[in-house]
Chain A
Amino acid sequence: MFFALDEDQQAFDGAVRSYLAGRFDLEAVRGVFEDPSGDGHPASLWKAAAEQGWLAVTVPEEHDGLGLGLVEAQVIGRALGAGAAPGPWRGTVLAAEAIRLAGSPEQQAAWLPRLASGDAVGAFTLRGSAPGTLPAVEYGALADVVVARSGDGLVLVTGATATPQGSYDGTTRLASVEAGEGEALPGATAEVVAELEARAVVLVAADLAGIAREAITRTVAYDKDRQQFGVPVGSFQAIKHALADLHVAVTLAEHAVLYAAHAVDTGLDGADLAVAVAKAKAGDAAVAATQAMIQYHGGIGYTWEHEAHFFYKRAKRLAGQFGDADAHRARIAELTIG
C-alpha cells in the first residue's frame, strides 16, 4: 500500500512550487487583476511553464512531451491554484489530452509538439457545440486551437472569432467563441469524451484544492498574530474549531484529488465515482475556505487591497466548472443508489 506521491513526484512538486514562488507572486496576480483589458496571460509565467515542462506534462515523449500522467498534472494544477495563477495552462494541457486520446496521427504530429512547447495555446470546453457559440471559454480569445463538442464527438476549432466576456474572476480571461464546423477528432467516442471530461474535472478539482489549502494557510498565519481583546484571535475557540474543520475538509479534498487522478490514470474500478467525489469535495472545501479567509481576516479581508478576493473569486468560478458539487453529488447518487 503506497498512497502518496513517490520520490520523483515529490521532487517534481517541490520544483513546481519553488519555480512558481520565485517567478510569480500575488503582486503579479494583482497586475493581471487590475488590467482587465489585458490578455491575462503573463508572458514570464507562460515562458516558465513551458521551460519547466508544465505544458508538456501528459504529452507523449515521441511528441516532445514528458509522457507523465494525471497524478503529475494535478501537482501542477494544485500549485497554480495555490498561487491563484492566471494563464491558459489547463486549457492547453486538456486540448493536448484530447488530441492525444482522440486525434489522428497527423493531428497529433501537427499539434502536440507545439502545445507541449508553448508555441500554441489550447482551450478545452464541453459547453455549446460546433458549429455555434461556445460560451465562456477560458482563454478562448488567445487560443490557437479550441477543442469543443460537435454532436457526440469532438472537433478542433481554429481561426474562430472570439469576443472577450467580462468576469469578476480577474485571474482568468473568458471569451465567447463563434465556432465553425471544425476538424473532427476521429477517435472521440462517447467513452473517450467521458475520459476527457474526467481529466478536466480532476484538474479543476486540483486547482480548487490548491486554492483551499492556501486560503487556510494564510488565514491561520494571520490569526496567530492578529490581536483583539489583547490576545491573538486564533486563540478563540470559535475560530479554532472552524479552522480545524476546514483543515480536515481540505486534507480530504487533497486525498480525493490524488486518488481520482490515480484512478483515471490506471483505469481503476470506480474511477467515475472517485472523480465525482473529488470535485464535490474540492469545490465545497475551496468555497468554504475562501469564505473563511475573508471572514477571519475581518474587515481587511473584504478590501480590494487584500488578496483574499483573488482566491474567493477563483474558487467561485471553478466550483461551477465542469459540474458543480450538486451535479457531482447527483452523479454519486446515480452510481451508488441507482
Chain B
Amino acid sequence: MDLTYTAAEEEFRSELRSWLSANIPNEWTRPGFWESLDDDESFRLRRDWERDKALAGFAGIQWPTEYGGRGGTPGMKAIYDAEMVLANAPRSVNPLALTFLAPTVMAIGTDAQKKEIIGPLLRNEVIWCQGFSEPGAGSDLAAVATKGVRDGDDFVVNGQKVWTTNAVHGDKIFTLVRTEAGSQKHRGISMLLIDMHQDGVDARPLKQMSGASEFGEVFFSDARVPATEVLGEIGEGWRTAMLLLSFERGASGIAQYTEFRRQYDEVVDVAKRLGRDTDPVIRGKLARVLTDLECLRYHAMHVQTQVEQGRDLGFEASMTKLIWSEPSQDLWEVFDEILGDDATLDSLGDLDLRPLHAQAMWSRSVTIWGGSSQVQRNVTAERVLGLPR
C-alpha cells in the first residue's frame, strides 16, 4: 500500500491550486451563485473560464502534448479532478467531448479529424453534444431510428435525438445514425459528426424537474453531412460507440467522493442549524451514508491503482456507477428527513435551501443517465459474476 502521490504530482497540485485561487472570482463560490444566473449567462462564463484554463495549461491533463494536452500521469488527472471540486470550479461546458470524443478521435480519427477536432474542443472553441439517446432508444442504445441516406458525397439525415446535454449551446454533435436501410440492432449504424448551425438541424431545450435545461432535443430534417464527417468506419458506428464509452471506465470516483463528502458536510451543517444533529435516527442514517461515501473513496483508490498499472477494469467499471450514484441519492433523502415538515420550502429563516434542493433534484437523474442502475446491475450480474442471460 502506498496512498501517496509522487513529488511531481504534488508539484502539479500546488501549481494548479495557485492558478485556481487566482482565477476563480470570490462571488462564484458563494452558495446559490450559479443557480441565480440564467442558462446563457452561466454557459458563457463557464465557457470563457474553461478556455483560459486550457490556455494556462490546465486541460487535457493526460493527453499527449502534440494535441495540446499536458502529457501528465493518471495521478495528476485524479488530483486535477479533486482540486476542481475543492476549489468550487464551475462545471465543464464540454464534458462529453473531453471525456469521450477526444480520446476516441485520438485512437481512430483521421489525421484531418485529429487536427480539426481536438485542439478546438480543448479550448472550447467548439462545444460538442452527444447524440445517442432517442425517444425509443434510451437504455436500448441499439434501437437507433435516426436515418442517414447516402446522396453523393453526403449523408442526408432525418430523425430525433433526446436527453442531449448542451443541445441549445452545442456547435457540433457526435451522433449515432442508421446509415444502412433496413439494418437491425447494432449493425448498419455510423457515427456522424454533424454541424448544428446548419439548415435542417433544430435544437430545443427540455425543461427538467429541477427547473434547469441542461438537456434538450435535437431534430434533423434533411440535414446534409459530408461523408468525411464519419468517425470510424461507415456502418461500424456501434464499434465506435463502444470504444467511446469505454473511456468512461478510467473515471475513478475520487472527484465524486470529494464532491459528495462536501455535500455531506453541508447537510450536517443544516442539521446542526436546525438542532436535528442530536436525533439518533438522523445520526444513524447520516452515518450509513457516510459509510458508503468512505467506501466510495476506497473504491476510487482501488480503481486509480488499476488505471495507474495500466489494467483494464472492463465490466467491473459498471459497479463504480452504482457505488457513487446511489449513496448520493441516499444523502438527499436524509436531508429531506432533517427538514421534516419544511422539506419543500425554499428557505428556512435566513437559510436559503434552493441550492441544496437543486443538488437533491439533480441526484434523481444520476441513476438514469449514462446507463441506469438496473442496466448496471444486469451488467454486473452477467459480465462480472457470470450469471446466465
Return chain B residues, CB-CB under 8 Å to A223: 387
Question: Given known contacts A1-B4, A3-B301, A240-B378, is B319 in contact with A273 (CB within 8 Å)?
Answer: no
Return chain B residues, CB-CB under 8 Å to A248: 319, 322-323, 380
Return chain A residues, CB-CB under 8 Å to B385: 220, 243-244, 247
B87 interface residue (CB < 8 Å to A): no
The proximity string for B residues 354-387 relative to A, scoring 1 for CB distances below 8 Å and 0 otherwise, is 0000000000000000000010111011101111
Contact (Cβ within 8 A) B287 A240: no
* Chain B interface residue count, Cβ-Cβ cutoff 8 angstroms: 46
A33 interface residue (CB < 8 Å to B): no
Q: Which interface class (under 10, 10 to 19, 20 to 34, 35 or more) fits A?
A: 35 or more
Task: Choose from B4, B264, B291, B308 the contact partner of A281 (Cβ within 8 Å).
Answer: B291
Return chain B residues, CB-CB under 8 Å to A232: 387-388
Contact (Cβ within 8 A) A1 B374: no
A43 interface residue (CB < 8 Å to B): no
Cα A71 to Cα B384 with chains together (Å): 26
Return chain A residues, CB-CB under 8 Å to B75: 1
Question: Given known contacts A240-B387, A332-B287, is B1 in contact with A262 (CB within 8 Å)?
Answer: yes
Contact (Cβ within 8 A) A234 B308: no
Return chain B residues, CB-CB under 8 Å to A330: 280, 283-284, 287
Question: Given known contacts A224-B387, A234-B388, is B287 in contact with A338 (CB within 8 Å)?
Answer: no
Main secondary structure of the interface of B (DSSP, over half): helix
Chain B minimum-CB-distance residue to A262: B1
B112 interface residue (CB < 8 Å to A): no
Return chain B residues, CB-CB under 8 Å to A337: 268, 271-272, 277, 283, 286
Q: Which of A229-256 contact B (CB under 8 A)?
A: 231-232, 234-235, 237, 239-241, 243-245, 247-248, 251-253, 255-256
Contact (Cβ within 8 A) B291 A333: no
The proximity string for B residues 71-86 relative to A, scoring 1 for CB distances below 8 Å and 0 otherwise, is 0000100100000000
Residues in B lying within 8 Å of A, measured CB to CB: 1-5, 75, 78, 264, 268, 271-272, 277, 280, 283-284, 286-288, 290-292, 294-295, 298-299, 301-302, 304-305, 308, 319, 322-323, 374, 376-378, 380-382, 384-389
Residues in A lying within 8 Å of B, measured CB to CB: 1-4, 6, 71, 220, 223-224, 231-232, 234-235, 237, 239-241, 243-245, 247-248, 251-253, 255-256, 258-259, 262, 266, 268, 273-274, 277, 280-281, 326, 329-330, 332-333, 336-338
